[in-house]
């Protein structure tokens, strides 16, 4: 019998001083059996950094044709495509062709930098692409609970995550 996804709930109180976005979000997320807790937390961080009323989680790992998160306009066109990890050049090309803006968030620097060096020379044609490494250590998994309540403050591109018993700062390193 196949292992089922684990459901997690996250209440986020987001205060983004960089974009003047202040709102609360109640999220229900599925941790896919092949997904790590670190990756799920990276998805949450990507949501926080780009939060708005239209940003939604996609099937991600379970669906090859969708990103981890996206923002669509009322006509169904993709305004923002957010991918996690180290996608291949074919997937990057597909994302850039389908969306106004593409952001790839990497979250394991020891794997992300060699991946980036390998594809860096082929990226100049993608004018709507950004690649950002999230500097978050694996301690972020300590924030992970089946039910999370996080205060999320963003200032000068630095994210502070605060729970009832732990707080953490996540910085962003722009690769492209």
**pLDDT at position 164:** 93
Is the overall model pTM greater than 0.85, yes or no?
yes
CATH code: domain 7-174 is 3.10.640.10
Q: What percentage of the chain carries pLDDT values higher than 70?
A: 97
Q: Which two tokens stand for residue 61?
A: 């790992």
Q: Is the pLDDT of residue 1 over 70?
A: no
pLDDT digits (tens, 9 = 90+) for 111-167: 999 999 999 999 999 999 999 999 987 788 889 999 999 999 999 999 999 999 999
**pLDDT at position 62:** 61
65-85: buried (b, 16+ CB within 10 Å) or exposed (e) per residue? ebbbbbbeeeeeebebbbbbb
Q: Domain limits of the chain?
A: 7-174
């Amino acid at each position: 019998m196949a292992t089922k996804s684990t459901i997690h709930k996250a209440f986020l109180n987001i205060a983004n001083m960089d974009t003047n976005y202040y709102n609360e979000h109640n999220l229900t997320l599925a941790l896919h059996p092949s997904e790590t807790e670190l990756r799920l937390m990276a998805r949450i961080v990507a949501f926080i950094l780009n939060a708005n009323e239209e940003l939604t989680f996609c099937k991600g790992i379970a669906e090859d044709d969708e990103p981890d998160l996206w923002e669509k306009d009322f006509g169904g066109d993709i305004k923002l495509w957010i991918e996690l990890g180290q996608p291949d050049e074919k997937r990057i090309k597909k994302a850039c062709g389908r969306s106004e803006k593409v952001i790839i968030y990497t979250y394991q620097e020891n794997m992300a930098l060699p991946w980036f060096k390998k594809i860096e020379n082929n990226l100049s044609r993608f004018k709507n692409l950004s690649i950002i490494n999230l500097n978050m250590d694996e301690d972020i998994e300590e924030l992970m609970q089946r039910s999370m309540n996080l205060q999320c403050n963003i200032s000068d591109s630095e994210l502070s995550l605060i729970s009832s018993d732990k707080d953490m700062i996540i910085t962003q390193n722009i690769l492209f």
